[in-house]
Structure 1
């Protein structure tokens, strides 16, 4: 490696970065970061730099020695206008390091300038049939993108054939028309606007810096200047009238808090993630986690004080990563300070949900001391873990005892009666390892299974008992979970049949929709007139399969009838904490 070539690159990187990583060390008082991983930030940085080849170094040196020509104010203005068109605006929403990483679902969410609202009556009917709908509402418009137009759009803006599969974007593909369709609601038409504030060009290659503009945003009340609203540095080649994109780098580290901004390796990710903290809102600390420049999750630690006031966390003292629910994924412990003192916040890793992490519980100094710990990361581990381990559990009993413990910690406090939390062991699928139920009967229920040394959360505090949701039932060792859910006071009723699939996840197999009213206008929504005329109406039922789109109605009915023949019991729990721990041998 030619060190003299690499040093300017490292120096330039440090200058451009708003914050640098801090050293990960369990014993370091400066970093205030702990992880159950053996790797350190120093190792991470070494891996990130790698062994640059002579050719790579020569190329980088040549590139850095030839600065581009600064763009004129007129050019910047033209790019501002261009990046606020429907064709280009959405390229700035998510970061990407290469064309292969572009999220085409987001790029075309509002049509990208290649969609049309000129759909024939036949096309509208095709869409309604494909989506099991009877009509469009007055608040949505059907748009169509021809598949060939999308392929051409992607090729023009990447220079590559990166056409996604028909099922890889959230538009309905209708084969007979070889086109994608989507009903776009009026409320969907909202996005950030941008202003191009600087840029340079070298031949036909451009590098621009754009900032979020409140003035140019559409249907967005407020914008910021950091985090997901930070500046973008976008690189592309101009090819005729088209921009061929190379990358879009969101400047996550701008305005960050250096001592609480760092890289960390977590077992659920194949490369380090980047944790960034902001104090730009003087009353509320904020954090984001990104990976390879792309958003993973956001954290805004707040809590409810004993007087029921909402308290904001102003500063962050420490951040730690360890597995509290025995699933093999590291969760996050955040210790922050506020006008009401210090607080520990726990964010659970939820890789199968929209957010990669979700709030689980928070603890004050008194609670954490009663649990045998203190408001440090090591003290949090002592309070929350039966043992400080991040490897596999020897049995389901050991793993389930850990899960039960964290629920005890979360709900055993003066503001909540732990006896209201119910536990149980039930047998959902056909094996001899039971599933663990944790719930607040009448409100929510969680369900865990155990395989290969770790738990897996099948149901994460699924709510019921309100808004028409009757709750969840299971057939012992039948691998069927049923849910009934009413809408419009029972005018619509959904019956959902789920099972644990081969990948270990709980997923829907079949569902039906009962129309218990006379749907005169065919829009699927009951009006007062329709309800008044439905006294003698005979229920109409739609049948759907999520495992085989080609199943006939008769085949779906037969499969559902087989499930219905099983004996079902409530998934709610009927044991207190001490009883379930005794059952687990603890």
Structure 2
């Protein structure tokens, strides 16, 4: 979209004389559009980017529009104030091209101005029971009545929203037909409206995030809305990911070869490392910073010279290879996919890859170093796929190294691969020619986490964890989820103290009163989404508890695992 500027006569004279720095771009607007559409802008804020930033910490193009008149300033201030209220602020968080695409979870994050604060003590107590008496802060508590959500959606979009108990991914109680959540304001964002384009009652509002960087996650928002007597009908919100990106290293890409298009944006690093943002449907699915460690020193890739996409971790989804210039010369940074939702994590095999390559770093040389002769990434057996995964771990820098092993997790003919670091556990299975990551470097050994176990042949994994020096104990039973890591299906929270104030955490007095640890009370939780009675839940958990569990631990080094894979 071309944003037109209203230029006063004096400014226009300066422009024509070559003394001004004002740009007008009406090339995309017809005469009819110019007569029916007008724009008002605030001169103190940045105008839309031309994708060529000079500094990372500032907007890429400074506004040169003359000071708006008092009425214009007032209108801009009114929309700034409006969209910094809980009622409207959430509409700026994520992109959507039409109301049916709105993520009501983020719109309602701060309550949307409709959170019910008039709760009875009975409702609060019912929620405590539902949430197993977890930490409770009434001031941060958000309660959305389902009927109020439907009214809110109709008022703010003009379209009916058909809701059920799953419309918001929050706690829900049928008794009150309401959703429950907490809102922590540490991540709240504020915005300034600096441009209004009008076409009758239709508005195009441009907002700038109130921080020092106006690219990437802090990019401008363009909201289309219709003004009514009751307020605004929100039509769309478009985050301007292209603003300030490196157009030479930003691409549309199908990462899973399934026809699903994503966009990979990169942003140069001026004072630090370059970074990337991967979007799907206009919203972030993954981000990355192009930095690493070489010979125990940090390196920061500031400018990308090449980006490649190919699957080097055998999961069937293309991974990301970035080559660029740092103060140390040319470096490669690797990011690998960890699930089917296009989440990516940095792979620390990059330093080893650089040492394996003679001469210039190129994408073909990196691919050869990572995949060897299997450049197509085809795996006919679990043996081949597991060998590739283990190769990546062996190439990754680690002071303590890794232990590897094969286990029988689900009782079929294909074993699972477990890889243990000093304080991490990873777990993989093999499905349809690719690996499926069940655990990606899950931590243990700190903060009361005792590690992970599995029930051979049962497809059940167990973790026990403690908090407050053992005063609260958690038992979690996990199972595989299609395309994702292990998910907790059932859990038990046991308090080894009497929670007199019902806040879910032990006070010093409560701990002192229960110092002998003889008191305990357990709370069972069902995470499956399938309704169960308390008796059914406890029966199921007791069944899982009675399985025989073994430590989820490998017992071979890399060479030992490769030998086993080659001979099985």
Fold shared, TM-score > 0.5 on shorter chain: yes
Report if the CA contact (8 A) 1:303-1:362 is conserved. no
Matched position secondary structure for 1:192: coil
Question: Which blocks of at least 5 consecutive residues in structure 2 are unaligned?
Answer: 5-28, 41-71
Alpha-carbon displacement from aligned partner over 1:364-415 (angstroms, at most 9, x marks no partner)? 4x7534378962211111111144455652111111111111111113xxx6
Matched position secondary structure for 2:271: coil
Alpha-carbon displacement from aligned partner over 1:447-486 (angstroms, at most 9, x marks no partner)? 1011111110001111111111111111211222111111
Alignment of 1:179 onto 2:171 = no
Matched position secondary structure for 2:237: strand
Q: Structure 1 residue aligned with 2:431, among 440, 451, 456?
A: 451
Q: In the aligned structure 1, how far is the partner of 2:88 from the partner of 2:530?
A: 35
Q: Structure 2 residue aligned with 1:425, among 384, 406, 409?
A: 406
Report if the CA contact (8 A) 1:386-1:402 is conserved. no
Alpha-carbon displacement from aligned partner over 1:251-307 (angstroms, at most 9, x marks no partner)? 11112222212222221664332222222633321221222322222221122343x
Report if the CA contact (8 A) 2:357-2:365 is conserved. no
Q: In the aligned structure 1, how far is the partner of 2:461 from the partner of 2:426?
A: 13
Q: 1:111 to 1:445 in 2, by over 3 A?
A: same
Alignment of 1:131 onto 2:131 = yes
Q: 1:238 to 1:147 in 2, by over 3 A?
A: same
Alignment of 1:315 onto 2:315 = no
Alpha-carbon displacement from aligned partner over 1:84-118 (angstroms, at most 9, x marks no partner)? 22211111111111112111111110011122323
Report the equivalent of 1:225.
214
Q: In the aligned structure 2, how far is the partner of 1:486 from the partner of 1:479?
A: 24
Q: Structure 2 residue aligned with 1:416, among 399, 417, 420?
A: 399
Matched position secondary structure for 1:177: coil
Q: Structure 2 residue aligned with 1:368, among 354, 378, 382?
A: 354
Q: In the aligned structure 1, how far is the partner of 2:80 from the partner of 2:147?
A: 29
Q: In the aligned structure 1, how far is the partner of 2:360 from the partner of 2:374?
A: 15
Matched position secondary structure for 2:87: coil
Q: In the aligned structure 2, how far is the partner of 1:503 from the partner of 1:77?
A: 46
Q: Structure 2 residue aligned with 1:213, among 210, 215, 223?
A: 210
Alpha-carbon displacement from aligned partner over 1:197-235 (angstroms, at most 9, x marks no partner)? 222211111112221224xxxxxxxx4211111111111
Q: 1:341 to 1:450 in 2, by over 3 A?
A: same
* CA RMSD between the two structures: 2.8
TM superposition score normalised by structure 1: 0.81
Report if the CA contact (8 A) 1:97-1:247 is conserved. yes
Q: In the aligned structure 2, how far is the partner of 1:261 from the partner of 1:561?
A: 52
Matches within 5 A, 1:469-488: 469-488=449-468
Report if the CA contact (8 A) 1:368-1:374 is conserved. no
- 1:528 is displaced (CA, Å) by 2.4
Report the equivalent of 1:201.
198
Report the equivalent of 2:287.
298
Q: In the aligned structure 2, how far is the partner of 1:471 from the partner of 1:190?
A: 31
Q: Structure 2 residue aligned with 1:547, among 516, 528, 533?
A: 528
Matched position secondary structure for 1:335: strand
Q: Structure 1 residue aligned with 2:506, among 514, 522, 526?
A: 526
Alignment of 1:238 onto 2:238 = no
Matched position secondary structure for 2:286: strand
Matched position secondary structure for 1:176: coil
Q: 1:76 to 1:373 in 2, by over 3 A?
A: same
Report the equivalent of 1:158.
157
Report the equivalent of 1:340.
328
Report if the CA contact (8 A) 2:246-2:266 is conserved. yes
Report if the CA contact (8 A) 2:168-2:179 is conserved. no
- 1:135 is displaced (CA, Å) by 6.3
Decide which moves more: 425-434 or 476-485.
476-485
Q: In the aligned structure 1, how far is the partner of 2:207 from the partner of 2:272?
A: 28
Report the equivalent of 2:393.
407
Alpha-carbon displacement from aligned partner over 1:90-149 (angstroms, at most 9, x marks no partner)? 1111111111211111111001112232322222122222222166247x4323222222
Report the equivalent of 2:86.
86
Q: 1:352 to 1:543 in 2, by over 3 A?
A: farther
Q: 1:552 to 1:371 in 2, by over 3 A?
A: farther
Report the equivalent of 2:60.
none
Matched position secondary structure for 1:470: strand
Alpha-carbon displacement from aligned partner over 1:60-85 (angstroms, at most 9, x marks no partner)? 98985765133444332322222222
Report if the CA contact (8 A) 2:338-2:344 is conserved. yes
Q: 1:135 to 1:447 in 2, by over 3 A?
A: closer
Alignment of 1:279 onto 2:249 = no
Report the equivalent of 1:41.
none
Q: In the aligned structure 2, how far is the partner of 1:234 from the partner of 1:502?
A: 36
Report if the CA contact (8 A) 2:439-2:485 is conserved. no
Q: In the aligned structure 2, how far is the partner of 1:361 from the partner of 1:193?
A: 36
Report the equivalent of 1:385.
371
Alignment of 1:508 onto 2:485 = no
Matched position secondary structure for 2:540: helix
Q: How many residues align?
A: 512
Matched position secondary structure for 2:487: strand
